[in-house]
Structure 1
């Protein structure tokens, strides 16, 4: 029997209202307007991160598959650095037994700023058949790896069945993470964040790797190479932003205009309708948030917007109050996480 987590709102609804609630959230997620973006081929946008080993490209160069086997994982990196931008890909997760496997789509400049790097993460945390897939988002600024800003969520679909679009918007004003054009998280820049708000040019990465020590059930479920190779498919590649040299002390003045243009794009603003979708997603699918982890942060970080409807769902550990299990332990809400940044 598959367990389902219910939010306090859902538990208060009679069966007919609950069905209506589920219909609204499903319909809202399916009807989001597609963004107006230009997709690129692999050759136009990315290069192998280490080597061509375990990387497969389609004949039209519009799809790239990253493989993990017992010899190695694999990864790709954008051919350029960007000073703010919108980065997106349609991704299909590996199928069958994928415990211990992390597929990541993220931005970083750790190779240039080793001690004070910035990073924006979307990480998929592997899965055991019959369980709900889980993923997390995270933000680091200026090397603040001790102040990770992770949130964790369940998925409302099986990401190994079909491709779904995952996107990161990063501009001087806000950061938005998207799943299929639905905003699932927004961080609005707050002056009190100072260097914790990512602000240095970053590359865009996609990787697959063995994270048996932590990714699934706190490391209890590990990669089983009987099911190799594990294949993550990336297509519909989007890289929109100002291309820069990361070591320039004074960034190109063209980026001022580029950033201004970026902030008026449809994907740079959460509309009232999209905000409703984001709220519904977070009420139903978020199971850890650093903003509600008062053990870790007795005073919430300055960018946190504390919503009563969310706060009542979480314990002081940042994990859900509900004891229903849905594909992994949630005793602490963070117990399976070790920051990859």
Structure 2
């Protein structure tokens, strides 16, 4: 009995040890010191808690921002954000992928601030070869200032998908078949910023930033890039073995995800450029036939 008890105790100790080690591996896999550079804001962007937390702040003098150390060509990118609480009218928190130059590609999440009690607007856009104007906007089904929520971008050769807590809210399919370039040749970095845009962000600019509420702060944690790192013209995915876990590279929306996407778009979408005939009197953009 004593020997059996000793073995059980050892097994439990070993299991706890393995759990602790595995949790350390998860934490070390998401470390802002290793993954990003705070690029502007004169100290308003801070990495805290041994690299586990990043905060961006905005006051009347300046906002702040960061970018990923790596460039990527395709990937699945997850970030947990807690948005500016209270009266955040006039502020914009961004989280996006972008290349550089006049013909850049870009995949945007922008979170438009609000008056206390009003919902945030999630603004999405996709640029290909320098051309954007592909906005879709949504309300969220929760308060994004109370807790951290996961915002994800899937980018592979077939499509781009925007997710909130694992629920797809928007899909932009490859529309090369109708002559629209698709982001597949320009490496992109992850960028994020918190800045003042009270000339347009809240109710078209009618509601201005209340600087008595400053500093405004957004918080980030658990950044994960399951992606092809681009370095010196070579992709890290070029040498992947057949057993590697690159399922996201060919991932499509299954029937359940398609139903969830329809649910979000039916209940929470507040603007879709592909439904805005007044904006495009000469006819809707051609990719709308592929991305209804």
Q: Same fold (TM over 0.5)?
A: yes
1:143-182 alignment runs, 5 A limit:
143-145=130-132, 148-182=133-167
Q: Distance in 1 between matches of 2:245 and 2:193?
A: 26
**Structure 2 residue 100 is matched with structure 1 residue 117:** no
1:79-228 alignment runs, 5 A limit:
79-110=69-100, 114-145=101-132, 148-192=133-177, 194=179, 196-199=181-184, 200-228=186-214
1:271/1:52 CA distance change after superposition, 3 Å: farther
SS at match of 1:95: coil
Instruction: Quote how far apart the aligned CAs of 1:97 are.
Output: 0.5
**Structure 2 residue 29 is matched with structure 1 residue 74:** no
- Give ranges in structure 2 of 5+ residues lacking alignment: 1-25
Q: Distance in 2 between matches of 1:204 and 1:172?
A: 18
Instruction: Quote how far apart the aligned CAs of 1:179 are.
Output: 0.2
Q: In the alignment, which of 237, 241, 246 is matched to residue 255 of structure 1?
A: 237
Q: Deviations over 1:56-75 (max 9, x none)?
A: 22222111000001111000
TM-score in terms of structure 2 length: 0.83
1:107/1:226 CA distance change after superposition, 3 Å: same
1:63/1:191 CA distance change after superposition, 3 Å: same
1:294-305 alignment runs, 5 A limit:
294-297=277-280, 298-305=283-290
Q: Distance in 1 between matches of 2:189 and 2:291?
A: 31
Instruction: Quote how far apart the aligned CAs of 1:99 are.
Output: 0.3
Deviates more, 1:191-200 or 1:89-98: 191-200
Partner of 1:40: 30
1:108/1:217 CA distance change after superposition, 3 Å: same
Partner of 2:10: none
Q: Distance in 1 between matches of 2:216 and 2:235?
A: 43
Q: Distance in 1 between matches of 2:108 and 2:251?
A: 18
Q: Deviations over 1:285-333 (max 9, x none)?
A: 00110111223341342254576xxxxxxxxxxxxxxxxxxxxxxxxxx
Instruction: Quote how far apart the aligned CAs of 1:197 are.
Output: 1.5
Q: Is the 8 A contact 1:292 1:300 kept in 2?
A: no
TM-score in terms of structure 1 length: 0.71
Equivalenced residue count is: 262
Q: Distance in 2 between matches of 1:86 and 1:95?
A: 28
Q: Distance in 2 between matches of 1:283 and 1:223?
A: 31
1:24-63 alignment runs, 5 A limit:
39-50=29-40, 53-63=43-53
Write 1 or 2 for the structure with the bigger share of strand. Answer: 2
Instruction: Quote how far apart the aligned CAs of 1:278 are.
Output: 1.0
Q: Distance in 1 between matches of 2:181 and 2:249?
A: 26
Q: Deviations over 1:246-290 (max 9, x none)?
A: xx5xx4264346699676239933221121111111100001101
Partner of 2:8: none
- Give ranges in structure 1 of 5+ residues lacking alignment: 1-36, 308-341
Instruction: Quote how far apart the aligned CAs of 1:40 are.
Output: 1.2
SS at match of 2:77: strand
Greater Rg over alpha carbons, structure: 2
